[in-house]
Structures are given as structure tokens and as C-alpha cells.
Structure 1
Amino acid sequence: MTCAETIQAYALRSIGIGERLLPKSDFTLCDHVVLIGSGLIWNLYFAIFALALGFFFATAIALARVSSNPLLRKPAEWFVFVFRGSPLFIQFFLFYEALTLLPKAGIDVNLGVVTITVATAWFTKAWAGALLVLFFNTSAYSGEIFYGALRSIPRGDMEAADAYGMSGWKKFRRITWPTMLRLAWPAYTNEAIFLFHATTLVFFSSFPAWQQKGDSLYYASYLADKTFNPFIAYPVLAVYFMCLTLLIIWIFGRVYKRLNRHLPQTAGTRSRMRVRLLPAR
């Protein structure tokens, strides 16, 4: 099979498009690149949706933590403590057991927006259950980042907003939220990178890969087992993640530049070495 045929057969295999059966022998470098790249679709799915949904939930958590109302502040503090204080792998395991075993025992799991029963067993699949765990995890870490940024907003900015007659939603939209994002964005960029790397833990979690439609680490492990050579599959996987990490840094860097567009730009200025000539004696 040529490389073009391999791309046609396996490039979208992880989402059910293309050849159903995995290759069994005669693996080439093209097979490694295409199959692992196909599985990377799921890693991007987990990272993008968990970050997008967790961003807004983390903002709500941060606002609840700075609230003077203990009915809002205490649940937010405990949520952050639980998901920051326990390992992500354990969270995968506990959620899978809760979403799978409890409904089978006749105990329904009420998550607020949906109740897990035997009829909703689809929630135990990786595309939904693992995404839920990553969503909660990144919301807790991002919420703590945003909380610290809220506490670091200069008092003068808030006093200036009050002097202009801003209050309520307008003050939050024009002053509080943009300033919070500017202060938190470098740390939030690191959280986005960590979350993207954490998507590889889905392979080790209890959430199953339906019909061999796994993530990038699933295919890398399959190729390493079949070829008895981990020094091809795993370096290919690492290169993929490094390239996407650079993409995340670039995207978040553009957003950070946009957030600070009103500030004086010092980029491009270079320090010049000046040589002073001493007069001869």
C-alpha cells in the first residue's frame, strides 16, 4: 500500500471513516504518521471542547470565590479543592465507576443537566464521559487562575470605574473581566497546554475506545506492540504534540497581544551595544 493509499484508508479512521481493519504487518513510517495523526483528532476534540466549556465555568467559579455570600463561595472552594487535590487519573477511574456501576445497581446519578441511568449508558463512552472529567478538571485549575487574577486587579482601576459611574454588568464587562483576562492569560496558556497533554490519559482510563476508534496514544501503543519497536511510534507522537503545542502558544499569544492592544508596545526595540572610545593620554 502506497502512502497516498494509506492516507485515504486511515487518515480519518479514528472517527469511523475509512478502512475498518487495522494493518497487521509491514508497517512503514507513513503508517505510523497517518494512524497516530488520525487518533490525534480525539485529543483535539477533548482539549478544544473541555477548554471552551471550562473557560466560562471557570469564570463563574472565580466570581463565586470572590463573593461575600458563603452559599456561593464555599461550594466553589470545595469544587476547586477536590479537582485540584486529586490526581486526574483517579478522577477518570471514579467517574467511570460511578457512571457505569451505580446505574446498573439501580442507583441513578444526577449530574444536574442529565441523570445517568441504564438507558443513558452512552455517557460512559470516552467521547462524553472523559470529556466531562477533563471539563471539571480544567474548570477547577482555570477557576483558581482567574480567582488569583481577580484578586490582583489594581484598586485604582475599580475606583476609576466607580468615578465614571460604572456599576454592575457594565463595570464587569468593561473593566473587571478584561483586566482579569490580561492578568491571567499567561498562566491560562500553560493550563491549555497541560490539558492538551492530559488528553493522553484517556487511553489509560477505564473509558473504552469504541470499535478501536482511539486517540493518538491508542494507535501509538498498537504500532509499538506490533512492531516491537517503541522508538518510532512514540517519537512520532511526541513530534505531533510538540507541533500542536507551538500552535497553542502562537494562538494564545495572538489573543494576549489583542488583550493588551491598548498598552504601549515595546516590542521591536533592541538594546544596542555602544562602544565608548577613551581619549588617548
Structure 2
Amino acid sequence: MTTDTATQTETGHADEPIVRLRHPGRWVAAAVLLVLAAMFVNFVVTSPQLRLDLVWGYLFEKSVMRGLVMTIELTAVAMAVGIVLGTILAVMRLSENPLLRGAASGYIGLFRGTPILVQLLFWFFLGTVLPQISLGIPFGPEAVTFSTNTLISPFAAAILGLGLNESAYMAEIVRAGITSVDKGQTEAAEALGMSPWINYRRVVLPQAARIIVPPAANDTISMLKLTSLCLVIGLPELTTTVQLIYGRNFQQIPLLIVASIWYLVLTTILTLLQTRLERRMARSSAAMPAKRFRLALGGR
């Protein structure tokens, strides 16, 4: 038996063509999706009720732009409050002090257990039960007194409602990231005489970031859309602004389309930034733990 014959015997019919599996279901699904997409485009283009001319006319209108800027500001400030306070709460929850753990757990349970809409209304109407906020010695003389309604403006109420609520969720995200770090890293840092604060800042948190970043980015996208709830306290963000406009001209759907377009634009930008950041974090997490630890110690 020759070598070619032996090879053909072992592998079967070597000259038989490879037959690819057919997937008729995919073609049917694709056809259905194309038909539905064509129907949607036809409806959008031919329906006079949608008033696409009105959509384009209000897309860059001044009040809409101001509402858009307000939405971006609310998202940025509320997420900053949530990240900073959430990190502190996460460290408290991991503390060996039972009082710190209990306080952090109570805070997280309170703000995660009540609806964010209720929290927004609570801060907005706080002045009805607490007309003044005073600073001074507890149970003693008051040094400074502020009007609650002046101190907690609609913007401040929105930041308190959104930021404090976000901090409760961010605390759990940061805690999960911190607990994912190998305990040997922190033990080695303690053996070198690093204080707990420096240990967290230069060893734990940089390594925990690869776990924290993806859900934190998702929370940022969610926060962008949650700012629309500020409608209930009259803050002129994007949703409130378009509602005020269609309250005058009764063109609800075209104005809601305007708001939806801007929300889609912003969420698309944030999604692209999230994808790029996650890729960068994935590349950095491929480094050896020992190398990351040496860098955390200042390059030693």
C-alpha cells in the first residue's frame, strides 16, 4: 500500500468537497427584519403627523440646547458625587470597625431601598418641614442659619437625589472591585510599612479599577437617562424643556423625538468611550501583578 493510499484510507475520501451547513432560518430572519425596517422607514418618511420639519427646527433650538447642557451637568456632577461617596462607603463596609460597617450598611440599605423619584421629591420639599438649616454647637448656640429653600435649590435637590442614590450602588461596585484584589498585595504593602490610606490609593484601587470601570460606565449611561426624572421638580433639563415647548404648541411626538435624538447621541458617545476605556483597562490588566505592585511603590 502506497503512502497516498494509506493517507486516503486513514482520512477517508480526501477529494470529497466540503459541504457547508445551510441555515435557512437566518435568511428568513434577515428577510423579516428587512421588511420591518423598510416599513418603519416608510412610516417615518411618509407620515405627516410626525412633523419631521418641526423635529429639525427644534433640534438645535436655544432652549433645547440649554436643557441639553443642564442634562450633561447633572450627569457629571451626580456621578462625581456618587463615585467619591461610594468609594468612601465601600471602604467603610470593609472596615474592621463594626460602627463604620453598620453606618455604611444602613446608608446603602436606605438609599437602595427607596425609589429615586421619592428621594428627588424629598429633597425638593425638605423646606416644608425644615425651614432653616443651622450650623453651630450641637444642642447649643447656632453660629449660622440658612433658609432651606435657598440652600437647596432645584439643581441642588437633583444632585442630592441622584448623587446620594448613585453612591449607594457605587459603593457595592467599588466593594466588589476591592475584594477582587489578591490579599497578598495588601499584606505585602502592610509589611513594607504602607499606611492603610496609601495602601488603598496606590495598591488596591488601581488593581480594582478593571472590575469597577465597566459597571461604573454603565451607571453613567443610566444616570444620563435618570436625569429626565428631574421633570417632577421642574428643573429645566432636556425632558422638562421639551415638555414646556409641547405644552405651548401641542406637538408632543415631534418634541419627544427631539429629546430622544439627543439622548441617543449622548448615550452613543458614552458607549464608545466605555468600549475604549474597557479595552485600555484590559491591556493594562495583562501586566504582571508584581510589576503593578512595584509601580505602586514608586518604581522600586
Q: 1:199 aligns with which of 203, 227, 231?
A: 227
Q: Among residues 76, 94, 102, which one is paired with 1:74 in the alignment?
A: 102
Distance 1:32 1:258, change over 3 A: closer
Question: Distance between the aligned counterparts of 1:128 and 1:92, measured in 2?
Answer: 10
2:267 equivalent in structure 1: 245
2:121 aligns with 93
- Conserved in 1, the CA contact under 8 Å of 2:130 and 2:148? no
- 2:166 match: 138
Measure the CA separation in 1 of the matches of 2:210 and 2:148. Answer: 41
- 1:30 partner amino acid: G
Percent of aligned positions that are identical = 26
Residue of 235, 239, 251 corresponding to 2:257: 235
Is the 1:27–1:227 Cα contact (8 Å) retained in structure 2? Answer: no
TM-aligned CA deviation for residue 117 of structure 1 = 5.6
Cα distance in 1, alignment partners of residues 210 and 121 from structure 2: 35
2:36 corresponds to which residue? none
Counterparts in 2 of 1:123 and 1:38: CA distance versus 1, 3 Å: same
Distance 1:225 1:121, change over 3 A: closer
Which structure has more relative contact order (CA 8 Å, sep 6+)? It is 1
Please tell me whether Structure 1 or Structure 2 has the larger radius of gyration of its CA atoms: 2
Q: Give the drift of 1:130.
A: 1.4
- Measured on the aligned residues, the alpha-carbon RMSD in Å equals 2.9
C-alpha distance in structure 1 between counterparts of 2:284 and 2:119, whole Å: 41
Change (3 A) 1:194 1:109: farther
Contact between 2:121 and 2:232, CA under 8 Å: does it hold in 1? no
Q: CA deviation at 1:256?
A: 3.5
> Contact 1:50–1:131 at 8 Å: present in 2 too?
yes
- Cα 1:180–1:227 shift into 2, 3 Å: same
The structure in which a higher percent of residues are helix is: 2
CA contact (8 A) 1:62 1:147 kept: yes
Structure 2 CA distance for partners of 1:96 and 1:263, relative to 1, 3 Å = closer
The residue aligned with 1:119 is 147
The equivalent of 2:8 in structure 1 is none
Unmatched runs of 5 consecutive residues or more in structure 2? 1-52, 136-142, 288-300
Do structure 1's residue 30 and structure 2's residue 57 form an aligned pair? yes
Q: Does the residue aligned with 1:153 lie in a helix, a strand or coil?
A: coil
1:158 CA drift (Å): 3.8
For residue 74 of structure 1, report the CA deviation from its aligned partner.
Answer: 0.7
State the Cα distance separating 1:79 from its structure 2 match: 0.7
State the distance in 1 between where 2:224 and 2:261 align: 14
Q: Which amino acid aligns with 2:58?
A: D
Q: Indicate if the aligned counterparts of 1:33 and 1:236 stay in contact, CA closer than 8 A.
A: no
Are the aligned partners of 2:89 and 2:104 in contact in 1 as well (CA < 8 Å)? yes
**Unaligned regions of 5+ residues in structure 1, if any?**
1-25, 266-281
Query: Closer, same or farther in 2 for the Cα pair 1:157/1:199, shift >3 Å?
Result: same
**Cα distance, 1:195–1:78 mapped onto 2, change above 3 Å:** same
1:135 shift after superposition: 1.4
Match of residue 147, structure 1, among 169, 175, 179: 175
Shift of residue 252, structure 1, vs aligned partner: 3.4
Shift of 1:178: 1.0
Cα distance in 1, alignment partners of residues 286 and 177 from structure 2:
21
CA positional deviation for 1:32: 4.3
Q: Is the 8 A contact 1:145 1:184 kept in 2?
A: yes
Q: Which residue of 1 aligns with 2:242?
A: 220
Give the match's secondary structure for 2:271.
helix
Structure 2: distance between partners of 1:116 and 1:251 = 44
Deviation at 1:179, TM superposition (A): 1.7
Aligned pair in 2 of structure 1 residues 118, 223: CA closer, same or farther (>3 Å)? same
Task: Tell me how far 1:144 sits from its aligned partner.
Answer: 1.2
CA contact (8 A) 1:103 1:117 kept: no
- The 1:68–1:150 alpha-carbon spacing in structure 2 relative to 1, beyond 3 Å, is same
Residue 60 of structure 2 aligns to a residue whose secondary structure is: helix
Give matches, 1:258-273, under 5 Å.
258-264=280-286
Distance 2:268 2:144 in 1: 38
Separation in 2, partners of 1:150, 1:74: 19
Q: Report the secondary structure of 1:68's partner residue.
A: coil
Check whether the contact 1:103–1:116 (CA below 8 A) recurs between aligned residues. Answer: no
